[in-house]
A and B are shown apart, each in its own frame.
Chain A
């Protein structure tokens, strides 16, 4: 209410001036008291709180006074001076409240980001979830401000903003909250790594860093950001623009810092064993990293940054598959695998694909995103047979890639099979490896879906083909020994000599095969028994029948056991020795 000196209430005027002076002096005294070192540290005490309230109250009254036109310019100056001192103190107080150590320092053990076993190549046999376990959700939040503290912060901030000191207020928040985040991330073992260091880091170390990064990103963008939002909302309940500024500034800074790690990790050489960790990184970024409110102002920028990081990861992943294909193509070993066993490369590739398929959805996204980007490599594989029927898988980029890998693997197996001089062994090898491949595909739902039933059928038919060929190469000559024809000698009678020869021939061949093929290795039990069964079905009836028919001609022979060495049951037993991976011995016989 304006008062002019001409007013009759000049006494009131003087009175008012007296009040003003008193107020100012009161505030000055309070300020001086604070200056003399009474600013507390752990200030949850009621005393501190009360005195703060009184202080703020005085500040408020003085501020109002300063806008009044009644006061002299000297008084005005004095008021402003004391207000400035008060604001300075409040800023200090604010800072000390914000500058807190976390209530209890979290020990590194409770986060144990690093305690996961380092995965090497054999991690193909492990599954690792990139999602943090329950444990992390329960960790303490180092941003634990008590409601009292929050209320105090709110009061101080309100006073500062009302007095026009919002810059100082926001700067204090920005500084200390950034520090808090930085320290928290460091406790998680996630520090400031340079791009150059990441680039040069050996894979064993980088792997571990990626694991911890996945979890840090998750924790940060969910738990920590939520807490931060709540903090600002409770301190500045009626100032959404301040909340937005503070939060988006901080979040933006943290997110880009986190993304830089991914950018650095991607600089490493792109080799196949790194695939799974990179898929984990991609999955981390696919989650809604930028979720929640108050990020509208930097939404576009963050989306761009995240997308760019994802693009880099996609490039790397696509290149790793390329690396796999190269390895398969350029594998030019000249020494055949002993005993026609499943080749280590076949195992490696199939297991690799099987574990890759655990990330099937992610990989489909990756290849979709990567389709336009890499100009080379995928082109020739894009030609898929148009005449396929309904049961062909959809031509997703990943499916196409998978197909081309399988083709290369087939070609590789084919190449290797040609190293065998023995045709029987050659077909055996093809069967063994082919079988392994089909079983792996059938045993994995995603792989099965991606390859399609048609592919499986074709595979199985070629397996049958190999089987037939194997049989022919190995056993046709043996069966020739057991043919009932051609045993007539002169005078159209069965020649004893010829029968002897046949038996001898059979024995010799059979024993040779037994010696040789017992050490052949079939990895698949079912295939093993199928083979044995089919050989038995082929050989034993023929032997039995031959034996039955022509045994009599040797009745009076000396050393008949030299010729009729085996009962049919013996043959069966010996056939069961085949493909066991053991050096065969003839000592086993059913008696």
Chain B
């Protein structure tokens, strides 16, 4: 059900009498505007619908929260953002975006944008940590890929995998501790299999500022996120609300997927009103992700990144194999393991190909929203000047 109806009069258009079919002095600019707003809504809905459909069981598309899916999500975000900016700014009188309720809504949106910058940085750091998990997995793959497979290689693989799994479980807590480093080098017995690896991954990346929490940041971004009602719903308040929601959703999904500082308490409830048509696909996605999150939260926080999940499973299975390994190994067992090692190698390859581009996309998001914020501020400033008394 579209939020605008024919006779609904947005406040920003309130100066001139409007009815959709009425021809204005500005030759149909109003029609154009309404159309643009509706198109924007529709495009958002379409984009998220696509993202949703690729995650269904029977589709061959990108799995939910896989690297490639997240990259598509980021792309869609950039598209939404570009359209949003066009709708708000192109061919518009600056004073239009400075009038109530936009005079409050727009600065709130820009405030969310600033908050999202820190999330972008945290996620980028988190992806660095994932890169290191990839390296640990690569060690295991290299070790287990040798023939003949000996005790030495298996031990090497086991240490790497143990470190990998431990890192995944402890990632968030470790990062929250900041600069505290494990000084266990050389002091423990050789059986402390994972000590090197764990330390390699834990607090590997530069952490965010102490006491910063991704969960809290997302929560703060959600404050005051209310759907416009009544007359406001057909004006520019609507696209602002939509874009805000998209922004928060994307940031939330990234935080859920990628290990970043302090995600404990990440909210799974989204204040999205169910009756909004354009929001349906987003709501479904959000529910799916929330479900996964709740499941994992019980076990201890793991990034929901699909590749990481699979890595964890494979890792665990290979660790089991390593623990029960005896030289010389049985062929059937070896064949099983070979398949798993191949799969692990595949995941590493995906990560290798996808993580850096994803980091660059996040950078692009960062830069784009900063630029847009500037443009909005400039226009708001102009509007302020126009209404200020001049000599």
Contact = CB atoms under 8 A, between A and B. Distances in A.
B135 A96 contact: no
B328 A73 contact: yes
A497 B196 CA distance: 116
A194 interface: yes
Contacts of A374: 378
A65 to B, nearest CB: 13
Given A39-B186, A164-B142, A329-B391, A315 B374 contact: yes
A46 to B, nearest CB: 20
Interface string B126-138: 0010001001001
B159 A194 contact: no
B142 A267 contact: no
B163 to A, nearest CB: 10
A197 B139 CA distance: 40
Interface stretch (A165-173, A383-391, A452-460, A579-587): A165-173
Interface in B143-166: 148, 150-153, 155-156, 159
Interface string A23-60: 00000000000010101000000000000000000000
Contacts of B360: 301
A79 B328 CA distance: 14
Given A39-B186, A83-B152, A88-B159, A196 B206 contact: no
A267 B385 contact: no
A167 B181 CA distance: 21
A91 interface: yes
Interface in A90-111: 91-93, 95-96, 99
Nearest to A39: B186
Nearest to A41: B186
B200 A172 contact: yes
Contacts of A37: 186-187
A85 B190 contact: yes
B186 A415 contact: no
A79 B327 CA distance: 13
Given A77-B151, A80-B150, A329-B390, A195 B121 contact: yes
A83 to B, nearest CB: 6
Chain B interface: which size bin? 35 or more
A238 to B, nearest CB: 22
Contacts of A96: 185-186
Chain A interface: which size bin? 35 or more
A80 B391 CA distance: 88
A426 to B, nearest CB: 17
B118 A84 contact: no
Contact of A80 (B153, B159, B181, B328): B153
A196 B114 contact: yes
Interface in A114-171: 164-165, 167-168, 171
Interface stretch (A175-183, A223-231, A336-344): A175-183
B120 to A, nearest CB: 9
A99 B114 contact: no
Nearest to B186: A39
Contact of B367 (A35, A164, A308, A329): A308
B212 A194 contact: yes
Contacts of B212: 194
Given A95-B199, A319-B381, A330-B388, 6 more contacts: A85-B155, A171-B132, A171-B200, A182-B206, A192-B208, A192-B210
27 contacts: A74-B327, A81-B155, A82-B152, A84-B151, A84-B156, A85-B152, A88-B190, A88-B196, A92-B186, A164-B142, A165-B156, A182-B206, A191-B209, A192-B206, A193-B209, A194-B209, A196-B114, A196-B115, A196-B118, A199-B114, A253-B128, A267-B114, A267-B370, A305-B363, A319-B378, A330-B388, A330-B391
